[in-house]
Amino acid sequence: MPFTIKEKNLIEKLYRKNDGNATAITRGLRDRGVNAGVDRVKDYLKARGYKLQHGGRRVSESGRGALNKREIDKVLVAYEHYNGCGTCAERGQGYKYSRGTYIGYWKDAGYPMQRRPHNPSDLEVKLRAAKIIVRKK
């Protein structure tokens, strides 16, 4: 059964919102009461010339995997917040992305890389002085 005009408009809206992720589009349709499978949504979008994301791994504009534009922007903002320390960014962001992900995107953006860990924050120094944070040796 073909999609109605209302369903087609909804699919195209969800396509823009979900960066071409057919699974997310299908979930959005189901949330709105439209019963359609992923393959049916993919076929519809492909027939209209839309570009879909590949499998479970997304490909960003730089050719690196797994992050979309919004996520890349968050990673780049983290450079200044964590003084270019990939390990600190990884920890500070709750291990959402790996240290290598931060460093890779920072290098692509032309940010200078640190050779050793950054100077600890004032809070970190105070916590160590109070022996709340114990450094492992």
Structural domain spans, the chain: 5-47, 69-125
Q: Supply the pLDDT for residue 61.
A: 47
CB distance 52 to 19 below 8 Å: no
The pLDDT score that the predictor gives to residue 104 is 86
Tell which wins on pLDDT, 135 or 69.
69
> How far apart (Å, rounded) are the C-alpha atoms in residues 64 and 7?
33
Task: Give pLDDT, residue 99.
Answer: 83
Mean pLDDT across the chain = 78
- Is pTM, for the whole model, over 0.75? no
Q: What is the pLDDT of residue 13?
A: 94
% the chain with pLDDT above 70: 74
Residue with tokens 């879909």: 52
